[in-house]
Amino acid sequence: MSYQAITLKQYPSAMIDEDTFSTQTFDEKALADGEYRVKVTHLSLDPAMRGWVSPDPNSYIPPVALGDTMRSLGFGVVSESKNDKYPVGSQVTGMTGWTEQCVIADDSLSIVPQGVDAKTALSTLGMPGLTAYIGYNDVLQGPTKQQDKPQTIVVTGAAGAVGSVVVQMAKADGLNVIALAGSDDKCQWLKNDLGADHVINYKKDDVAAKISAGSPQGIDLFF
């Protein structure tokens, strides 16, 4: 059996283009003890990946090596296993790479409970959601602060993958949420669908005036 994977052909100097990646066919290899094979059904495409194809060795993570399968998060199902922790049929997510299948020898992939679909596992419960969660709960420590008045949070990039989760967590915690985005459509979505208290289209509104109006008692948290 063979499978296809997208490998890094050359480091892009600016934009990713048709010379950055190539599609290669590989032969499936037999599993060793402790290994399991994942049939990858969903690939993730995250902003961080642009940095991973930069040859800068001083980044927080080594660059993807030329010729290697492109590093990425993904979601799939264990199709063959010699690892008791990952029985056949388990849904898993983690660093699968851009490939139709991968063989993993460690416990780096997380088992996704049945009932959680691939998109949720990769988005709200995946890297964007965890980024929002850690930023909001651990860095800002917003909801753990005891205050005698309702807290106000300002969220920039609020309609993006990360910001939209922060807006929802803050609303769930009862905060007064001021959300900034770059279009009226995004502002409407933030207000009507996500429940932001105040929205600002930073490309055309008077940002300072609108922030002041939305936070009469001041700003407590800034994301």
Closest by CA position to 64, among listed 95, 87, 86? 95
Q: Should residue 131 be labelled a site residue for ligand NAP when binding is judged by CB under 6 A?
A: yes
Return the residue of 31, 111, 161, 207 that touches ligand NAP, per CB under 6 A. 161
| Cα distance between residue 91 and residue 112, in whole Å | 5
Least distance to ligand NAP from the beta carbon of 88, Å?
A: 29
153: helix, strand or coil: strand
Token output for 75: 């979601």
Residue for token digits 């996704």?
Answer: 112
Q: Should residue 186 be labelled a site residue for ligand NAP when binding is judged by CB under 6 A?
A: yes
Sign of the torsion angle spanned by Cα atoms 125, 126, 132, 133: positive
- Main-chain dihedrals φ then ψ at residue 72, nearest 5 degrees: -165, 160
**8 A C-beta contact, residue 218 and residue 154:** no
Q: Should residue 211 be labelled a site residue for ligand NAP when binding is judged by CB under 6 A?
A: no
Q: Should residue 71 be labelled a site residue for ligand NAP when binding is judged by CB under 6 A?
A: no
Question: Among residues 109 and 200, whose Cβ is nearest to ligand NAP?
Answer: 200
The footprint of ligand NAP on residues 36-55 (CB under 6 A) is 46-48
| Piece in contact with ligand NAP (CB under 6 A), picked from 2-10, 24-32, 78-86, 178-186 | 178-186
| Cα distance between residue 189 and residue 182, in whole Å | 12
Q: Should residue 169 be labelled a site residue for ligand NAP when binding is judged by CB under 6 A?
A: no
HSE toward the beta carbon, residue 114, CA cutoff 13 A: 2
Q: Should residue 134 be labelled a site residue for ligand NAP when binding is judged by CB under 6 A?
A: no
Least distance to ligand NAP from the beta carbon of 198, Å?
A: 15
Sign of the torsion angle spanned by Cα atoms 48, 53, 59, 61: positive
135: helix, strand or coil: helix
| Piece in contact with ligand NAP (CB under 6 A), picked from 19-27, 35-43, 97-105, 157-165 | 157-165
Question: Among residues 26 and 52, whose Cβ is nearest to ligand NAP?
Answer: 52
The footprint of ligand NAP on residues 75-114 (CB under 6 A) is none
Residues that bind ligand NAP (CB under 6 A): 46-48, 127-128, 131, 156-157, 159-163, 181-182, 186
